[in-house]
Amino acid sequence: MSSTPILALGRSTFGDAANKDNLLPIEEAHALLNEWVPNERLRLHMKQVAAVMKAWALEREGADERTAQKWELAGLLHDADWEKHPDAHCRIIIEKLEELNVDPEVIHCIASHGPKYFGVEPETRMDKMIYVFDELSGFIHAAALIRPTRYEGMDVKSILKKLKTPSFAAQVNRDDINDALSRIDTPLEEIIQFIIDHQRDVQ
Ligand SMILES: [Fe+2]
Tens of pLDDT along 56-71? Answer: 999 999 999 999 999 9
Nearest CA among 127, 106, 3 for reference residue 61? 127
- Taking the alpha carbons at both ends of the chain, their separation in whole angstroms is 44
Neighbours of ion ligand 1 (CB under 5 A): 79, 134
User: What are the tens digits of pLDDT across the range 116-140?
Assistant: 999 999 999 999 999 999 999 999 9
On the 0-12 / 13-18 / 19+ scale of CB atoms within 10 A, 178 is: exposed
pLDDT at 6: 76
Share of the chain above pLDDT 90, in %: 96
Phi, psi of 2 (to 5 degrees): -95, 145
Q: Under CATH, which architecture does the 17-199 domain have? A: Orthogonal Bundle (1.10)
User: What are the tens digits of pLDDT across the range 159-196?
Assistant: 999 999 999 999 999 999 999 999 999 999 999 999 99
Nearest CA among 173, 152, 148 for reference residue 163? 173
For ligand 1, the distance from its centroid to the CA atom of residue 137, given in whole angstroms, is: 8
Q: How many CB atoms lie within 10 A of CB 44?
A: 16
- As a whole number of angstroms, the distance between CA 118 and CA 8 comes to 4
For ligand 1, the distance from its centroid to the CA atom of residue 30, given in whole angstroms, is: 16
For ligand 1, the distance from its centroid to the CA atom of residue 78, given in whole angstroms, is: 6
For ligand 1, the distance from its centroid to the CA atom of residue 101, given in whole angstroms, is: 23
Rg from Cα positions in the chain: 16
3-state secondary structure of 52: helix
pLDDT at 1: 41
User: What are the tens digits of pLDDT across the range 79-101?
Assistant: 999 999 999 999 999 999 999 99
